Structures are given as structure tokens and as C-alpha cells.
With several copies, the nearest count.
Chain A
Amino acid sequence: MKRVEAIIRKSKFNVVQDALHDAGIDFLTYWEVRGQGKAVEERSYHGMLYDTSIIERILISFYCQDQFVDPAIKALLASAKTGEIGDGKVFVSDVEKAVKIRTSEEGAPALN
């Protein structure tokens, strides 16, 4: 069982969601994060310009069985990419256990 974390552009959220759905990922959790990466944005306030390397991103987190990871990454790469700096990253790590609160089921059936 794996945990996949993808940090993507806020504006790409909807397409990514659809792409993941097609790759078999129906369950996910996400929240807004800010990130520091290569992309910078220029803003001004009261006439004062400031470069911010702090940009708004969405972090999508989902847990899935091992065989779904590769299609999901593929879907993510295809849908979240603009080719410009700031597209984000995907990280995969191992998970030991999953429990579904409603039914107390564990393992694979807990994932959906």
C-alpha cells in the first residue's frame, strides 16, 4: 500500500482530479499549501514591489494499492504539466496499514 503526495498548481486541480479518476484513483484528500521552489512571482503592495518565492499550490494526498501508483503518476505527469517552472513534484512512500472508519475494514477494502 502506498501513499502518493503530489504538489501541483492550484489552477490545475480540476484536470488533475479528472485524470486521476481515469487512472482509477477515486478517493483523495487535498489541501492548500504554499511552496518554495524555483518559481517566483512578483507582487506589489502599496506601490512596493516584492518578489515572492512563496506560491500557492495544492497538495493532493492519496493512498492506494501498489499497482495503481504507476498509472496515477503517469496521469499526474500528463495533466499537471505546463512545462513552465513551478509545476511541482510527486512523492511516493510506503504505508503499513489502512482502516476504514465506517466499517472498520482493513487493508485493500479500506482504501475505497
Chain B
Amino acid sequence: MEELSTNVNDLAASFDSLWVLIAACLVMFMQAGFALVEVGFTRAKNGANILMKNLMDYAVGSLVFWFIGYSLMFGEDVSGFIGKATLFFGDDTMDGLPPYTTLMFQTVFAATAATIVSGAMAERTKFQAYFIYSIVLTLIIYPVSGHWTWGGGWLSELGFIDFAGSTVVHSVGGWAALVGAAMVGPRLGKYVNGKPKAIPGHSLVLGTLGVFILWLGWFGFNPGSQLAAAGTDNAIAVAHIFITTNLAAAAGAVASMTVSWFRYKKPSLSVTLNGALAGLVGITAGCAAVSPGSAVLIGIICGIALVFSLEFFEKVVKIDDPVGAISVHGICGALGTLLVGVFATEGGLINGGGFAQLGIQAIGVLSTAAWVIVTCFIMFKIIQLTIGLRESDRVQEEGLDIYEHGETIYNNM
């Protein structure tokens, strides 16, 4: 009897573990999605460069996060700020989830945060600089702010809600993208006499495939963050998160399309694609905490905000972000996190919870943003002063692929 009950518990635990690993597969596949979106929304002459960056941040991120990053995020809490470092991860036992299951799942999350930046800094950043950036981000920057919220740090103590990482993952990537894109400067020819020029991506079909893959991957990202699947409660929660995730994405796409239709007179594919991503990023924090109806509203708000954010950065702030990563991940990540304070079924503003949760959400958003912006600024400054951040005009003109990699992605003869 006791044995049988152990059996059942073991079975349940192994079931949880497998679900988290399958979810990790879906999230890992998002790397392909990001690669496609980024290469599709930029010019062919820089394609090998951007693909290489996407490949490398995942490869290097996997190694570095295993090497030490994971422990800084999830190791024993040191004064609420950081986890205790352990080299080469830990052991191979099982208590709750097998540690390697958690490592795998967290690795693909860390790599997601890292890969967001490559799109924003595309077409003008030195490969070496990006390579170093991706090590530093996965090794230190991401783990520390991640520790605050998910590793038992001070934000989690405060009651900050970021279920699957609108802030922990996406806006970390988004703020890093903001700093990086601002510091490397706009692409050659992007601003002529201060006026932005459109530089259309070379293949929207690759971009669209990328968005479909990302949408799919999000079904690992959000429901997987439940970190369990066994039993009634988990089953209900996972199903719930699937629905909120899907509806927010759908609403984001429809909202962005509608705004683009009114504003630019035609429904724009490139905007709609980003709208779906905006909805997905936005719902990530609250996917478990809000109702499907609220998910639709969050999707709509993020989808609308996205269009104006894209314009704001392009025309007012004049930061050149070829794929819109700052708006999609930074702005909508922050917005989505805040909206948890508004829409959460328990404690949300509209559900009678007052402003308390909203305030906590704001603290989480701002402190994470501050941490990332400051550390990224220091890091990119050091890179800039040493090996340099920006490619020369000549290299930008003829394409990074030939100069950096000696290879071009399309070879037709």
C-alpha cells in the first residue's frame, strides 16, 4: 500500500518532469522562430551574420548557463540579490523535478532572453561584440534579475507576479536591446537628415514562419512554466494557460492589424505579425492569473500599444530597431506585467483588489529595467572602448556576411 502510493507519487513526478522537458523542446524551437523573424526582417546581405548570432547565443548560452549562470539564478539565496554560485551545475537526483529537467527548461529561457537583442542590433554590430554580450547576459545579467523574481530573491518576497517571464525574460531582452541598439547607433542610411527611411526586410515569408513557430513555442513557454502537469489542479491550470496564451496572441494580431488598417490605410502583414508577438509577450506574466476574457483585453492593449511604440522609437526617440524587439519584448513585456495588477482574478484592480498589486508590479518592472539598463550600458561601453561595437560604413554597405563570415546566404550561380 505504501509502496503503491510511492509508485503513484513517483509516476506523478516523472509525468511532471516529462511535461517540463516537452515544454523545453517547444521553447528551444523558438530559437528557430527568432532566427527566422530576424533574418526575414533584415536584408539578405547580413543574413549569415544574424543566423550565426542566433545559433551562437543559444550554443554559448547553453554552456555558460550550465557552467555557472543557473546557480546564480537558482542557487541558495544570498541577501535577496543573487544565488550562490556553483560550478558545472549539480547532481543527478530527483526530488520534485529532476534538477536536469529544471536546468534544461531554464536554459532555453535564458537563451530566449539573450536572442532578443540580436534582432534590435542587427545589420551593424560586430560579431565578436555580440558574442561577448551573449556570454555576459546569460552568465550574469539575466540570472541576477531572474533570481529576484524566480530564484527566491527580494521581488518574489514582495509578491511580484511574473508567471512565465514577461519581465524576467522578455523585458530583460527588450531593455538590453534598447541599450544595445541605442549605443551601436542606427544602420547606415536609416536616418537621412534626421528622417527615418524604411528598410524592408528581405523575406516576410521567413518572418511569418518564424512567428508561427514562436506562437507554437509559447505553448511551451507559458503552460510549461506551471512546472507540473499531474493532478486535477495542474491539468486545469495548464489548460487555462493554453487558452489565455492563444487568445491574447489572437487578439494582439487582430488589434495591430486593425490599427495598421486605420493608420496606414492597409492591413500590414509586418505589423500584424508583430502584433501577435506583442499579445504573446504581454500575456506571459499573467497567463495563469487572468481570465480568458482579460487575456483578450491584454492582447488588444498590447497589440495597440505595439504600433505606437514602434513609431515612437522609430520617429521620436530615433533608435533603429530593425525587427521591433524593443517594442515587442521591452514595452509589451513591461505593459503585460503591469496589466497583471489590473486584471488578475485575485488582487487585480478591476477585480476589486485595489492598487496594491499594481504597485508591486511597477516595482518589479522598474527595478528589473534599471538593473538591465545599467549593467548593459556598462558592458556595451566596455566592449565599445575595447574591440568596438559598430561595423564600419564600408562593411555595412557591402554586407556583414562577406566581411565577418566570408559567406553569403544566397548563392544563385
B243-279 CB mask vs A (1 if < 8 Å, else 0) is 0000000000000000010011010101100100000
- Indicate if B164 sits at the interface (CB-CB under 8 A): no
Residue of B nearest to A11 (CB): B397
B388-413 CB mask vs A (1 if < 8 Å, else 0) is 00000010011000100011100101
Q: Which residues of B contact A41 (CB under 8 A)?
A: 402
Question: Closest approach, in angstroms, between the C-beta of A81 and any C-beta of chain B?
Answer: 14
Q: Please tell me which one of the listed residues B201, B264, B394, B398 contacts residue A44 in the complex, with CB atoms under 8 A apart.
A: B264
- Indicate if B90 sits at the interface (CB-CB under 8 A): no
B413 and A34 form a contact (CB under 8 A)? yes
A45 and B263 form a contact (CB under 8 A)? no
A46 and B398 form a contact (CB under 8 A)? no
- Indicate if B77 sits at the interface (CB-CB under 8 A): no
B402 and A45 form a contact (CB under 8 A)? no
A11 and B407 form a contact (CB under 8 A)? no
- Indicate if A42 sits at the interface (CB-CB under 8 A): yes
Question: Closest approach, in angstroms, between the C-beta of B263 and any C-beta of chain A?
Answer: 7
- Indicate if B146 sits at the interface (CB-CB under 8 A): no
Q: Which residues of A contact B311 (CB under 8 A)?
A: 47-48
Q: Which residues of B contact A93 (CB under 8 A)?
A: none
Residue of B nearest to A42 (CB): B406
Stretch at the interface among B67-75, B192-200, B329-337, B344-352: B192-200
What is the total of A-B residue contacts with beta carbons within 8 Å? Answer: 59
Give Cα A33–Cα B413 distance, bound, in whole angstroms. 12
Residue of A nearest to B199 (CB): A45
- Indicate if A97 sits at the interface (CB-CB under 8 A): no
Most A CB contacts (10 A, CB to CB) among B200, B201, B307, B407 go to B200
A10-30 CB mask vs B (1 if < 8 Å, else 0) is 111110000000000000000
B271 and A14 form a contact (CB under 8 A)? no
Residue of B nearest to A30 (CB): B413
- Indicate if A43 sits at the interface (CB-CB under 8 A): yes
If the complex has contacts A14-B189, A50-B198, are A44 and B397 also in contact, measured as CB distance less than 8 A? no
Give Cα A41–Cα B45 distance, bound, in whole angstroms. 15
Question: Closest approach, in angstroms, between the C-beta of A61 and any C-beta of chain B?
Answer: 16
Q: Please tell me which one of the listed residues B201, B398, B408 contacts residue A43 in the complex, with CB atoms under 8 A apart.
A: B408
Give Cα A42–Cα B404 distance, bound, in whole angstroms. 11
If the complex has contacts A11-B398, A14-B189, A42-B406, are A47 and B197 also in contact, measured as CB distance less than 8 A? no
Q: Which residues of B16-62 are within 8 A (CB) of A? A: 41
Most A CB contacts (10 A, CB to CB) among B41, B198, B201, B394 go to B198
- Indicate if B324 sits at the interface (CB-CB under 8 A): yes
If the complex has contacts A14-B189, A50-B197, are A45 and B397 also in contact, measured as CB distance less than 8 A? no
Residue of B nearest to A54 (CB): B413
Q: Please tell me which one of the listed residues A42, A48, A50 contacts residue B314 in the complex, with CB atoms under 8 A apart.
A: A48
Give Cα A9–Cα B402 distance, bound, in whole angstroms. 15
- Indicate if A101 sits at the interface (CB-CB under 8 A): no
B310 and A46 form a contact (CB under 8 A)? yes
Q: Please tell me which one of the listed residues A11, A47, A54 contacts residue B271 in the complex, with CB atoms under 8 A apart.
A: A47
- Indicate if A49 sits at the interface (CB-CB under 8 A): yes
Give Cα A45–Cα B264 distance, bound, in whole angstroms. 10
A47-79 CB mask vs B (1 if < 8 Å, else 0) is 111100010000000000000000000000000
Q: Which residues of B contact A43 (CB under 8 A)?
A: 198, 200, 402, 406-408
Q: Please tell me which one of the listed residues A9, A11, A12, A49 contacts residue B264 in the complex, with CB atoms under 8 A apart.
A: A49
Q: Which residues of B contact A42 (CB under 8 A)?
A: 406
A-B contact pairs, 24 of them (CB 8 A): A9-B398, A11-B398, A12-B397, A14-B189, A43-B200, A43-B406, A43-B408, A45-B199, A45-B201, A45-B268, A45-B407, A45-B411, A46-B310, A46-B324, A47-B263, A47-B268, A47-B270, A47-B271, A47-B311, A48-B198, A49-B198, A49-B264, A50-B197, A54-B413
Interface residues of A (CB under 8 A from B): 9-14, 34, 41-50, 54
